[in-house]
């Protein structure tokens, strides 16, 4: 199958047991997919880390394939940010870097934040819809 780059939102959902992301990630692995992360994910996760979460968080992140930020990735990220700013949409450095890693490594990105990744060259791996609960 494919290696799938995880966006930080999906990692947070897994670590916090939200939105059935753990089951979905397990399903992907059972299908033969390899899950990956990058330096941006690790930085964002550790920035939001609460006391007592270190061991479990580290174990999960270390179970993922690690994709580095290379010079090619950094250049691609800069060009993406520049090109989208010219189009009138300012994207964050973190999002363009994650997008550049996915593009450079030719792999899909699994994210809850599709609007952060408007680039047509980013293949977004579909997430199952969240259960919408009716009030009451």
Q: Where are the domains of the chain?
A: 3-68+107-125
Identify the CATH class of 3-68+107-125: alpha beta
> pTM higher than 0.75, yes or no?
yes
Here the tokens at position 16 are 């916090």
36 closest CA partner among 68, 74, 76, 75: 68
Q: What is the DSSP track for 11-26?
A: HHHHHTT-TTHHHHHH
> 116-133, pLDDT tens digit by residue?
999 999 999 988 877 645
Nearest to 79 by CA among 65, 99, 63, 64: 99
pLDDT in tens, 17-40: 999 999 999 999 999 999 999 999
CA dist 89 and 68 (Å) reads 26
pLDDT of 1 strictly over 80? no
């Amino acid at each position: 199958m494919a290696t799938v780059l995880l966006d930080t939102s999906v990692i947070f959902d897994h670590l916090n047991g939200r939105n059935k992301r753990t089951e979905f990630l397990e399903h992907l692995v059972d299908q033969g997919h390899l899950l990956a992360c990058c330096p941006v994910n690790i930085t964002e996760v550790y920035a939001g880390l609460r006391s007592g979460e270190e061991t479990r968080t580290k174990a999960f992140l270390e179970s993922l394939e690690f994709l580095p930020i290379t010079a090619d990735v950094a250049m691609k990220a800069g060009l993406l940010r520049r090109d989208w700013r010219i189009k009138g949409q300012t994207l964050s450095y973190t999002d363009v870097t994650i997008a550049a890693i996915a593009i450079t490594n030719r792999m899909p990105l699994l994210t809850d934040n599709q609007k952060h990744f408007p680039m047509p060259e980013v293949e977004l791996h579909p997430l199952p819809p969240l259960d919408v609960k009716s009030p009451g």
